[in-house]
Structure 1
Amino acid sequence: MKHILFLVSLLFIFSCENKKSSNERLIPDASGAINSVSIVAENDLWKGSVGEAIRSVLAKPIYGLPQDEPTFTMSQIPPSVFSGFVTKNRTVLKIETNKEKGIKIANNVYAKPQKVIVISGKRKQDIIDVVKENGDKIIETFRNMEIAERQRQMSKSIHSFTSIKEKLGLTIEFPSIYKIAKETDNFFWFRKDITTGHSHLMIYELPFEALKKNDSTVMQIIKIRDSIGKMYFKGRLDETVDADGNTINSFMVTEDAYTPFSGEIILDNKPAFETKGVWELTNDFMGGPFINYTIEDKINKRWIGVEGFIFAPSVEKRNYMLELEAIIKSIKID
């Protein structure tokens, strides 16, 4: 009798495991373009004040780009047709009326990986209030999902530059399509050709005393990146002679007319300074956005600088910059 009960128990457990595995397989893979959000809302809400509130959050211009580009590209879907393949987008914002005012965030509801944010309210104004009060949370939730997705995509073909770990004691994941442009004992510069331009990544080490944490930290970071630009990133006209016989100096600097954004974050469990802005070449007409992270590595008594920047005239730059941010946020310091 004991043996029979034991066998029945095993069969029950096996059946539950199979059922669980079967259910997991039924959830389709998420899809959709990077930085796109599906908005599930009735047409009248989308065309009215509720839609305006949503657009004011999700379509606001990204700071740090030379031209205005929306944070996300949105596509509105009425609830009556929200079924089948249209439910598979990685990021979904649902608006539900005649329900208690609030916001809920769920994972893998219709596909995986997926983030579904549900905003509800009994009145239109309730929904508008929730959207505006939680704007930063909504953006952060969707951006983190997109960064994770870009990291997943890039992990399929990772570079093989072992010297980064050997020289700097860190790892960072970026696609093998990036080629080395410059390498020293404490500096790496990688480059990838993109549509009408190129994307760049640089990684470097600074002595601990090179940067002081005070009210001028951001300006110190700008000064350091400008000195690196002057040393390594020369323009096409650098060292040529103009019509008056003067030697031209052309190198990368931070554009003075565009005030850099700065903030403090945690990266690889370490405090870091985040700086976004626009770069340009002196005595030339090239420029573009950059994103810089300067990480405090107390254990090794140093700072690690990681920066991505692009030159891509006449094309949108949002997704290129997201890729660079995803690369930088993969960093692991020994």
Structure 2
Amino acid sequence: MKKIGTLLLLTFTIFISCEEKQKKSYLPESIGAINSLAVVMDNELWEGKVGDHVRQHFAAPVLGLTWEEPLFTINQMPAKVFSGSILQTRSVLFIAKDTLSLAHIKSDVYATPQKIGVIKGTTDEEIIDNLNAKADEVIEAFKSVEIQESQKRFLKSLSKETALKEKLGITLSLPSIYKVGKQENNFIWIDRQIQKGSMNIIAYDIPNDYFTSDSTFVKDIVAMRDSIGKQYIPGPDVPGKTTHMMTEKAFAPYVFPVEIAGRKGAEVRGIWEINGYPMAGPFLTYIINDDQNNRKVVVEGFVFAPATEKRDNMFQLEAILKTIKFEDPK
């Protein structure tokens, strides 16, 4: 009898598992522009203090851009409008006054991939408390699914360039529109032209003991970038001046711990400028520990596009940089 019971339980588990997989296979693909967010909540909540807190979190300025651009482009609607194809929106924030008080994240409810942040409370104050407590986690979930979608879009047509593998022992999933423009020593510069400028990726390595003190870490990062800029990234020709890329002098970059490609490292966001010439733009740098090869690998994306919004360009560069893979040491 015990064996029969175990068999029945196993059969039931397999049935449920297959049913869930079948249900997921019938879900339509999610839709929406990269970094767009559907906020489903009553207009009264949206126009009051709850809406203020939603905007405070989800329309906060992206760090490290030359002017303020929001984390997400928000499309707010009441629940009765959230129907039809809108249900397939990739990132959804659902906020409601209810008899329940909760805050959680659901996956692949109406489409795949999809993340839905659900925030409820019995009063405005309770909704705000739940929102404040869960917002960072919800933002990370939304950002993750947007990165996933961005990568999915450019993986359809990849570059066959081998310079990164040959010079540095790394690979990136690069859209085919990106071309290697410079290879010198252990430095590689890859770029693509956009309507009003260019999107750029640079990669190089540094000794594993390059950073000697936590107390001077940010200062040393700036010195590293400025040294590379002076050596490899010239600015426009200006008579009587030596122009090159450097880190913007007025503000220190933002630095965060990160894990990428299974390795620990640092994420750096800030503004670059050209020494001796009025040009500037945002950059994103990953400094990744590669202890197997006794070094640190640096990959960076930066955009030059005067008088244009750059959030989505920088987001695509982030999605590319996060595809980094390391070759096994020989």
The question of a shared fold, defined as TM-score above 0.5 by the shorter chain, is answered with yes
Q: Could you tell me which amino acid in structure 2 is paired with residue 163 of structure 1?
A: A
Residues 1:17 and 1:46: Cα distance change in structure 2 (over 3 Å): closer
User: 2-side partners of 1:93 and 1:151: how far apart?
Assistant: 22
The residue type equivalent to 1:76 in the other structure is Q
Give the 5 Å matches for 1:56-95: 56-95=56-95
Larger Cα-atom Rg: 1
- In the TM superposition, what are the counterparts of 1:133-148 in structure 2 within 5 Å? 133-148=133-148
How do 1:21-170 and structure 2 match up within 5 A? 23-170=23-170
- What amino acid sits opposite 2:229 in the alignment? G
Aligned match for 1:266, one of 234, 245, 259: 259
Note closer, same or farther for the CA distance 1:24–1:209 as it changes in structure 2 (3 Å cut): closer
After superposition, the C-alpha distances for 1:239-289 in whole angstroms (9 at most, x for unaligned) are x42xxxxx2111101011122111111111211111111011112111100
SS in 2 for 1:51: helix
The 5-angstrom pairing of residues 159-308 of structure 1 reads 159-237=159-237, 240-241=238-239, 247-308=240-301
Counterpart CA distance in 1 for 2:17 and 2:133 is: 42
Whole-Å separation in 1 of the counterparts to 2:145 and 2:33:
12
Which of 324, 327, 330 is the aligned partner of 1:331?
324
For residues 49 and 248 of structure 1, what CA distance do their matches in structure 2 show? 53
Compute the displacement of 1:321 (Å). 0.6
Aligned residue in 2 for 1:5: none
Query: What are the Cα deviations for residues 196-225 of structure 1, in whole angstroms up to 9, with x where unaligned?
Result: 110100011112232325211221111111
- The alpha-carbon deviation at position 24 of structure 1 amounts to 3.5
Per the TM alignment, residue 136 of structure 1 is displaced from its structure 2 partner at its CA by 1.5
Cα distance, 1:14 vs structure 2: 12
In the aligned structure 1, how far is the partner of 2:20 from the partner of 2:125? Answer: 41
Partner of 1:6: none
Moved more, 98-107 or 317-326: 98-107
Q: Is the 8 A contact 1:155 1:175 kept in 2?
A: yes
Which amino acid counterpart does residue 251 of structure 2 have in structure 1? Y
Aligned residue for 2:222, secondary structure, equals: helix
Between the aligned partners of 1:144 and 1:214, the Cα distance in structure 2 is: 29
Whole-Å Cα distance in 2 between the matches of residues 142 and 13 of structure 1?
31
Distance in 2 (CA, whole Å) between partners of 1:22 and 1:147 is 26
Instruction: Report the alpha carbon displacement of residue 79 of structure 1 after superposing the two structures with TM.
Output: 0.7
Check 1:123–1:20 CA distance in 2 against 1; reply closer, same or farther (3 A cut).
closer
SS at match of 2:63: coil
Can you give the 5+ residue segments of structure 1 that lack an aligned partner in the other structure?
1-11, 242-246
Q: Is the 8 A contact 2:163 2:188 kept in 1?
A: no
Cα distance in 1 for partners of 2:115, 2:162 equals: 35
Q: Which residue of 2 aligns with 1:8?
A: none
Q: 2:312 aligns with which of 302, 313, 319?
A: 319
Separation of aligned partners in 2, 1:294 and 1:77: 41
What is the CA–CA distance in structure 2 between the aligned matches of 1:17 and 1:71, rounded to whole Å?
36
Distance 1:14 1:261 in 2: 48
Q: Contact 2:218/2:255 (CA < 8 Å) preserved in 1?
A: yes
Please name the residue that 2:8 is paired with. Answer: none
Instruction: Look up the equivalent residue of 1:289 and give its one-letter code.
Output: P
Structure 2: which 5+ runs fail to align?
A: 1-11
Q: Percent identity?
A: 39
Q: Structure 1 residue 310: deviation in Å?
A: 0.5
Task: Find the aligned partners of 1:14 and 1:36 in 2 and give their Cα distance.
Answer: 37
Task: Give, in whole Å, the separation in 1 of the partners of 2:210 and 2:86.
Answer: 51
User: Measured at CA, do residues 16 and 302 of structure 1 come closer, stay the same or move farther in structure 2, by a change above 3 Å?
Assistant: closer
Residue 26 of structure 1 deviates from its aligned partner by: 2.9
1:264 alignment partner AA: P
**Could you say what the CA RMSD is over the residues aligned between the two structures, in angstroms?**
2.0
- What are the superposed Cα offsets for residues 62-105 of structure 1, whole Å, 9 maximum, x if unpaired? 11011011111100111112111111111000013213222111
Q: CA deviation at 1:135?
A: 2.3
2:105·2:138 contact (CA, 8 Å) conserved in 1? no
Contact 1:218 1:275 in 2 (8 A): no
- State whether residues 179 and 190 of structure 1, in contact with CA within 8 Å, keep that contact through their aligned partners in structure 2: yes
